[in-house]
A and B are shown apart, each in its own frame.
Chain A
């Protein structure tokens, strides 16, 4: 790793490539993908610094002349240092002190002073190197990476004094702004915040109704409630995050390798995991140590024919789990010891050996070195993998080591990816180089620790970010100012992904296709995902006849026209609503449906359920419940499901939730019962059927989402990747070719044509004036009304062909930066 930042954004230089800057490297550096090289015999011998010189310097010179040890005052960490030392005469090895010293016959002079001297061929290489101008890429240095953070999460100095309602993220950000003397950005308007949050969390534009009701909402914690309600839309959430995970896990619905079984989809497993918001540690354990449904990720892509040794499936495994879960680039080290960081060939092969079915011969740059790889985890301090075990057990061990709470890198990597998705730039950047220093190490570790404490609940982290003040603040331009040091000024403007753009256009124009291509079972979307919860007592140490109280509080803005609770407890329960006992259940296999309508009130409501376990053996008491309510018979149901957002207490309490003497008791977050308690699964589905009986009209099937259909040429053009490589970041600016596809491509034109007809129909149906029509389009697309000038510009009263007029208006709007950027 070089001390200077290697990825300085050069956003301006993309279009205006300056040929004068096209300096070219003299020597070939590695990417070591050579399978076949032929060349004329007379070609001039070249010195390849990385392969020929760097290993010599590292082996023979670095110990005494780099990283704080500068014997004889000589430092050779970089080319500049070496030249400045005066020990090199460029172009003439015979006049170079360095050369004299490595060839000296005087043992006092000879370098290195200890160990074997340079071999004849090494000496020849050094001579050629000096004569050819001492080529040495600036990004390679002998200087060890300066920044190193401990593997375990560091406690953060979050003071107790921050108020309960304050988001801890803002504490860190405020501190940061103060230290760096940065003016905090102003707050977003309601509509802008809603738009950003819904696009970021669910990938969809807010509807006009959502905008209005949010703007009208006067309650103090409306932002928090908005985020909670967005994150509770499980299906929208799962559909949206499919794109993110498909990119990361190389999963797609068609593509290289699927036809001949060289690759396997994990679509069904992935979508279901997102619907359930599967805890991230469990999610990763199921990927690394997979069931048949999740096996596709570590299987990789088997190409027909011969592939480079660094690209066989076990090495793909090594590279992909390192990159995706740890932000480690193992691609270099899959061929040779890395030149950019400390990872070595044996590290890459150590991971690969865990999954290899057969003994794995280590290859350096596609040539076997006569060694066989042994299983090894990248952080040996966390534990080892026993290579003598069968593959399945090795994978099991790896899945534990990867997701152990002590593996801070694991939690940091995912919270950093989520922060990047939400704010446009990583706390550590780029997101795949987690060794880099964050602009706020305390915030990084706080978020990581917070994720761990919350049982790897990714929605919790998203909620934490989305409810922070900084997330609610105005975006800052991403244009980089200081090349050497990034300063955080606020959330960055993001560009819609291909899927976000297409979904938005589809909703605006009613032009989504009828069917999805992703193989997810249709029932999945409606399946109840209430979770069995219990106290945090380890299951088998719970007392017999354990009694636990569960609590859920929620607010109503208007009276409920219908409200039910469907619940069951293992084994019995009693339900109170706002202090009134409403129902009991005795048979845990038969969920009880209770009518809550008359017991609910406007404002805060409290549901308390007492769960008692029968049986003589130690055994925990579990609860599974759904609360459904709506404000009018035709409205959609709002659903509250049992999950870790519920609270529990084991202290005896009264119906009002206080102890016998009227004092408040301590409530703690309930715990979700780990999967594997199979007997519970059956009951879940009976809750589902009780629920669907309640719902007079079933939930409408949501319109098809772009993430679930095979990519088309427009989505491809807009940056939806071929998923043959892991992709963690999408392009952030609109290219000319993309603009071209948007300006005259048939795909978009057809959608807008459908949209134009729809809007004309709506106009007729609602007897809108032309201006009202434009207002309606603006509200749906931009979440605001047009101003006078905009109305004037879009006035189409004189146009004969109305369809064309509306097509143009729709096109104009969806082409606006305001539409395509998430600000």
Chain B
């Protein structure tokens, strides 16, 4: 990589020490495609579907429901999460940059790296920063695990690859990609069809064979470095911890609760990996253009299904982590690249092109009912555990359209700073690349939102 002109990037010069960590593990639950806040965690005025309904009158397409926290309402379909809100904080004022035309992959790049593409050097995913700065929590579990997103065979795959990377930090810190949670075990066991005995023998032979190579043929230093990585890989592939990747070992009752979807299975896998010692895990509902949260039409129906996919597993993940005594030191963040609105594309005044596929001022059919436009002025984020306040609500959006964040707006930089702060990383930590500092939050300017902490 250009950045690796010579050796590893170094920490830029420094004067203060890192903050004390309140979390050891971070789980990012990613709602890829733009999760509509008014239809999920930020209920507004609700109008049930009927022919002749004016689009401008609709803000939410689901009624509000009560939660275990008096002041917080969610939308119908999130009943399980409603019951665990006393364990975390709901942010309703997360805002994103206006990047002109809305392109999911650009906004996702921005959210995952903290930097707006394009960049002159390849920016690292926040998980890669954690892998680099904190290292694995357990050497047998990769430090940065990415669950649920295919990088081949889906639309915008090149754009997705652009931020599923450690960028200039080097491949060592890149994501361990597990697109299918129920097949995760295959990524950490000997190749298909290879018995453990054969695998073990192969490695033993490898060790012996390496030592046969004549000294003149390969230098010691380089040889050692290679063999060390091979040993690490072998350790991972034969460690007892790798059973954590095997969902078939989960008791059926528990498995069934999670088994709503690939995302649900991903939550289960994330829990098991957290128990085994993971550092950073992203579980995604998977971004595929026009699928899942990317509701350009038929929004209401699709979102109802999406909520079904996430509600039970997310709530169970929190309960399981709590029951195992892990929640206090595990930061769980649920977020999306932006929200959605029935009328506005981007934010008021944006030049973004309207991309709704079911345009109608007056509704005539069900597929027009839903939030089909991309909205960057106010979205919801859930945070649990890892030192985050419990039962709290932070920030506010306007009740009337445009539903902009009107209280305590939280930018991507500041949200990242909060996450890094919880993980014990100062938001202005920088590494040198091409002789200049590159910061974990944009230009080192992210500010942790102190009020989010307990």
Contact = CB atoms under 8 A, between A and B. Distances in A.
Interface string A60-76: 00000000000000000
Contacts of A256: 158-159, 162
Contacts of B443: 28-34, 37
Contacts of A14: 7-8, 170, 172
Contact of A725 (B119, B187, B236, B429): B119
A161 interface: no
Central interface residue in B133, B161, B226, by most chain A CB within 10 Å? B226
Interface string A783-823: 00001011001100000000010001001100111101101
Nearest to B14: A23
B6 A429 contact: yes
23 contacts: A7-B7, A24-B16, A24-B428, A26-B16, A27-B444, A33-B443, A36-B96, A37-B442, A303-B103, A304-B103, A331-B121, A331-B436, A480-B7, A719-B1, A725-B120, A728-B5, A731-B171, A735-B172, A738-B171, A743-B230, A745-B191, A812-B202, A821-B223
Contact of A817 (B222, B232, B432, B434): B222
Given A23-B13, A331-B120, A816 B209 contact: yes
B218 A736 contact: no
Contacts of A735: 170-172, 229
A124 interface: no
A739 B237 CA distance: 11
B410 to A, nearest CB: 8
B14 to A, nearest CB: 3
A98 B415 CA distance: 39
B286 interface: no
A793 B117 CA distance: 51
Interface string A669-694: 00000000000000000000000000
B442 A818 contact: no
A15 B228 contact: yes
Contact of A133 (B6, B15, B210): B15
B401 interface: no
A29 B116 contact: no
Interface string B422-454: 000010111010111111001111010100000
Interface in A196-251: none
Contact of B229 (A431, A713, A734): A734
A311 B101 CA distance: 16
Given A729-B5, A733-B226, A329 B435 contact: yes
The A interface is mostly helix, strand or loop, or mixed, namely loop
Closest 4 CB pairs of A and B: A23-B14, A430-B5, A306-B100, A9-B7
Contacts of B7: 7-11, 14, 480
Contacts of B434: 329, 331, 432
Interface residues of B, number: 112
A13 interface: yes
Given A38-B409, A744-B190, A815-B230, 6 more contacts: A305-B103, A334-B120, A717-B174, A728-B2, A744-B187, A808-B205
Interface of A: 6-11, 13-15, 17, 19, 21-40, 43, 133, 135, 137-139, 189, 192, 254-256, 301, 303-308, 310-311, 316, 319, 329, 331-332, 334, 339-340, 429-433, 474-480, 493, 495, 713, 716-719, 721-722, 724-740, 742-746, 749, 787, 789-790, 793-794, 804, 808, 811-812, 815-818, 820-821, 823
B49 interface: no
B205 A736 contact: no
A26 B428 contact: yes
Nearest to A712: B152
A493 B219 contact: yes
B189 interface: yes
B323 interface: no
A792 B425 CA distance: 52
A31 B435 contact: no
Interface in B235-294: 236-237
A817 B210 contact: yes
Nearest to A479: B221
A311 B437 CA distance: 18
A173 B216 CA distance: 22
A702 to B, nearest CB: 27
Contacts of B228: 15
Contact of A29 (B234, B442, B444): B444
A189 B171 CA distance: 34
Nearest to B424: A19
Given A477-B220, A817-B226, A24 B174 contact: no
Central interface residue in B122, B162, B209, B435, by most chain A CB within 10 Å? B435
Interface string B378-412: 00000000000000000000000000000011111
Contacts, number: 352
B38 to A, nearest CB: 22
Interface in B86-143: 95-103, 106, 115-122, 132-135, 142
A69 to B, nearest CB: 26
B440 to A, nearest CB: 10
Contacts of B223: 817, 821
Central interface residue in B16, B217, B234, by most chain A CB within 10 Å? B217
A732 to B, nearest CB: 7
A789 B14 CA distance: 52
Nearest to B139: A736
Nearest to B6: A7
A817 B213 contact: yes
B65 interface: no
A717 B171 contact: yes
B212 A790 contact: yes
B226 A821 contact: yes
B192 A749 contact: yes
A743 B237 contact: yes
B445 A818 contact: no
Given A15-B228, A192-B217, A329-B434, A804 B198 contact: yes
Nearest to A330: B120
Nearest to A338: B436
Contacts of A431: 5
Given A305-B101, A823-B217, A6 B16 contact: no
A35 B116 contact: yes
Contacts of A429: 5-6
Given A15-B172, A37-B413, A738-B171, A28 B120 contact: no
Contacts of B162: 256, 722, 724
A737 B191 contact: no
A415 to B, nearest CB: 17
A495 B219 CA distance: 12
A24 B15 contact: yes
Interface in B1-44: 1-2, 4-8, 10-18
A158 B318 CA distance: 74
Contact of B411 (A36, A308, A816): A36
A342 B74 CA distance: 56
Nearest to B106: A305
A721 B174 CA distance: 13
B208 interface: yes
Contact of B170 (A28, A716, A731): A731
Nearest to A432: B5
B11 A23 contact: yes
A727 B2 contact: yes
A305 B100 contact: yes
A329 to B, nearest CB: 6
B233 interface: yes
Given A17-B132, A725-B2, A735-B229, A31 B439 contact: yes
A252 to B, nearest CB: 9
Nearest to B186: A744
Interface in B171-223: 171-172, 174, 176, 187-192, 194, 198, 201-202, 205-206, 208-210, 212-213, 216-223
B218 A17 contact: no
